[in-house]
Amino acid sequence: MNYKLNAIKTISKRRIFETVISPGFYVATAAGLFLGYYLLSGFLDSVDSGGLNFSLHPVYNQIVEILSGAFGITFVEKLFSEGPFVFVLFVSFIPVFLYHAINTVFKFGFEKNVGALELLMYGPSDGTCFFLSFFIKDVLFTVIYIFTLALFFYLSSVINNLVLGPMFYFSLLIIFFLAVSGYSYGILASVLSGNAATSVALFSGIVVFFVILQIGSFAITGDYVKNLTNVIMWFIKWISPFFYMDIGLSAALYGNFFLFLLSILSILIISAVLLLISHFVLKVKGVRP
């Protein structure tokens, strides 16, 4: 067991070093912060003497129209009830999450395809050590980026005389665990697929499928579409991290902290099960593409 832990530690350090010297993480971070800055500025531009008026900013006007048309005005009012920070947080997080997830899925699939995993089997490590090193690297840089976002939004709130409400801090916490589950699904997609392109396509399909189902479960649609979506969602929701995220944020909104923690625990269990399945798939299938 010790030699496997040492192998995970060694490979993880290598992955972290590769990320540090690669421009990808910094480009994704800059893109996320730019989105945050732009959306915060747009929110401030939407405030006039009469209060909040999204029609003053063309981008926000389009965003609010789309969200209102899909989910209703009540959803929009709740989303911006504490200001722009919850909405901007999720948008700003997307570039870095997608960078890490897709980069890991592609690299894992590519290195498996060229025989890098098979070569490692002759040393003190195995396929599980290999994908855990990716997972550790992604989690570490996600924590760094979340702290960066928290500092950025805190300074923005102080400079612009805005308040970071409780929902912002709950969202910071749950978005981290949402990313952890996303990385776990990415690893499973890589393990199941034969090459890098198929891995990325499978992972993208899983994410899009979960997002569409979550949106469709409470979007304003026809009765038939909504009922069909709810039936499908009833079966799929138990493995969808977005379902537990929705429960967690709703619980935080109404002050049910036990349910909020339970939703986080559920996301962690899903992530652990996905990694465990990936381990057994590699044991049965092997590391050959």
For 283, the token pair is 């044991």
pLDDT in tens, 161-199: 888 888 999 999 999 999 999 999 999 998 888 788 888
Cα–Cα distance, 27 to 164 (Å, whole number):
26
Q: What is the pLDDT of residue 1?
A: 57
Q: Which of 110, 97, 79 has the alpha carbon at shortest distance from 149?
A: 97
Q: What is the average pLDDT value for the chain, to the nearest integer?
A: 83
pLDDT in tens, 209-267: 888 777 766 555 555 555 666 666 667 778 889 889 989 988 988 888 999 999 999 99
Say if residues 93 and 101 touch (Cβ distance below 8 Å). no
Q: Number of helices (H) and strands (E), helices first, in the chain?
A: 12, 2
Cα–Cα distance, 145 to 138 (Å, whole number):
11
Cα–Cα distance, 112 to 117 (Å, whole number):
5
Per-residue pLDDT band for 123 (boundaries 50, 70, 90) equals low
Neighbours of 200 (CB within 10 A): 21
Cα–Cα distance, 237 to 248 (Å, whole number):
14
Residue 194 neighbours by CB under 8 Å, 6+ apart: 109, 113, 289
pLDDT in tens, 59-76: 787 888 877 766 667 777
3-state DSSP assignment of residue 161: coil
**Which residues on adjacent β-strands are paired with residue 51?**
48
Q: Is the pLDDT confidence value at 52 over 90? A: no
